[in-house]
Amino acid sequence: MKYKHLVITLGAIITSALILLNSCRKINEATTLGGDLIPPVDNINTFDTTLDVETYNELFTMVNDSTRSIYSSPQMLGYISNDPLFGKTDARMFFELKPLTYPYRFANLPDSVYLDSIVLVLENAGVWGDTMVPQTVRVFEMNPSDDFRADTSYLVRENNFTYTNELGSRTFLPAVLNDSISAREDSNTVNQLRIRLNDAFGLRLLKYDTLSSNSPFETDSAFKTKFAGFALQADAGGNALMRFNLTGANTKLAIYYRYNKGSAADPGNVDTTVSYFNFKSYDSYGTAGSAAANYVIRDYNGAPIQAATASATADDEIFIQGAPGSFARIKIPGLAGLSNGVVHRAELIMEQVRDNVVYDSIFSPKFLMLDAYDESLSTQYNRFIPYDFTFDIQGNPTLGALGVAAIPGKNPAGESINIWKFNISRYVQNVVNKNEQVYDLRVFSPYYFVDYYKPTHNSTSLLQRVTLNATVGEGRVKLFGGNTTSPSTSPQRMRLHIIYSKL
- Is 308 inside any structural domain? no
Same domain, 166 and 255: yes
The residue from 274, 299, 324 where one domain ends is: 299
Give 39's DSSP letter.
-
Asked whether residue 103 falls in the same domain as residue 193, the answer is: yes
Neighbours of 171 (CB within 10 A): 13
What DSSP state is assigned to residue 359? Answer: H
What's the distance, CA 441 to chain centroid? 20
Q: Report the pLDDT averaged over residues 364-378.
A: 91
pLDDT at 31: 44
Which pLDDT score, from 0 to 100, does residue 215 have? Answer: 84
Whether the pLDDT of residue 332 is over 60: the answer is yes
Q: Is the same domain home to 162 and 190?
A: yes
Chain segment 276-317, per-residue pLDDT in tens: 999 998 764 445 799 999 999 999 999 999 999 998 899 999
Q: Which of 49-53, 217-221, 425-429, 491-495 has the lowest mean pLDDT?
A: 217-221
For residues 216 and 325, state if they share a domain: no
- Domain contains 3: no
Q: Per the structure, how many domains does the chain have?
A: 2
| pLDDT of 320 | 98
Continuous segment of H or E residues that includes residue 225 = helix 220-226
Strands 382-384 and 448-453: parallel
Cβ-proximal residues to 310 (8 Å cutoff; 6+ apart), any chain: none
Give the Cα-Cα-Cα angle 160, 162, 164 (nearest 5 degrees).
160
| Torsion angle defined by CA atoms of residues 314, 315, 320 and 321, in that order, rounded to the nearest 10 degrees | -90
What is the pLDDT, as a whole number, of residue 188? 67
Confidence of residue 483 (pLDDT cuts 50, 70, 90): confident
| Residue at 4 is within a domain | no
Per-residue confidence at 263, pLDDT binned at 50, 70, 90? low
- With a CB cutoff of 8 Å and minimum separation 6, the contacts of 33 are 48, 345, 347, 497, 499
* Between residues 357 and 36, the one the model is more confident about: 357
DSSP conformation class of 69: -
- Choose between 263 and 228: higher pLDDT: 228
Same domain, 215 and 260: yes
Q: Which of 243, 267, 299 is the last residue of a domain?
A: 299
Taking the C-alpha atoms of residue 369 and residue 327, their distance in angstroms, rounded to an integer, is 10
Asked if residue 66 belongs to a domain, the reply is no
Closest by Cα among 121, 102, 90, 135 to 246: 121
Q: Do 501 and 341 touch, CB atoms closer than 8 A? A: yes
Regarding whether 187 and 218 lie in a shared domain, the answer is: yes
Q: For 396-420, what is each residue's pLDDT tens digit? A: 999 999 999 999 999 999 999 999 9
DSSP secondary structure string, 154-168? PBTT-----EEEEEE
- pLDDT score of 1 more than 70: no
Q: Work out the mean pLDDT of the chain and round it to a whole number.
A: 87
320 and 287 in a single domain? The answer is: no
Among 273, 299, 325, where does a domain finish? 299
239 shares a domain with 205? yes
pTM to 2 decimal places = 0.87
pLDDT of residue 343: 95
| Whether residues 290 and 326 fall in one domain | no
The confidence score (pLDDT) of residue 459 equals: 76
Rounded average pLDDT over 383-399:
91
Same domain, 157 and 245: yes
Let me know if residue 84 belongs to a domain: yes
The candidate with the shortest Cα–Cα distance to 369, out of 395, 334, 411, 406, is: 406
Could you tell me if residue 360 is inside a domain?
yes
State the Cα angle at 238 between 233 and 239, rounded to 5°: 115
Between residues 265 and 488, the one the model is more confident about: 488
Do 46 and 157 reside in the same domain of the chain? no
Among 481, 496, 491, 475, CA closest to 427: 496
- In eight-state DSSP terms, residue 444 is E
Q: What is the pLDDT confidence band of residue 425, given thresholds at 50, 70 and 90?
A: very high
1 falls within a domain: no
* One domain for residues 344 and 435: yes
Mean pLDDT confidence for 147-167: 93
Asked if 255 and 263 count as a contact pair (C-beta separation under 8 A), the reply is no
Predicted confidence at residue 262, as pLDDT, reads 64
Containing domain of residue 286, as a range? 75-299
What strand order describes the sheet that includes 448-453? 54-59, 326-331, 441-444, 369-372, 382-384, 448-453, 462-467
The per-residue pLDDT for 210 is 65
Expressed in angstroms, the distance from the first to the final Cα of the chain is: 41
304 in any annotated domain: no
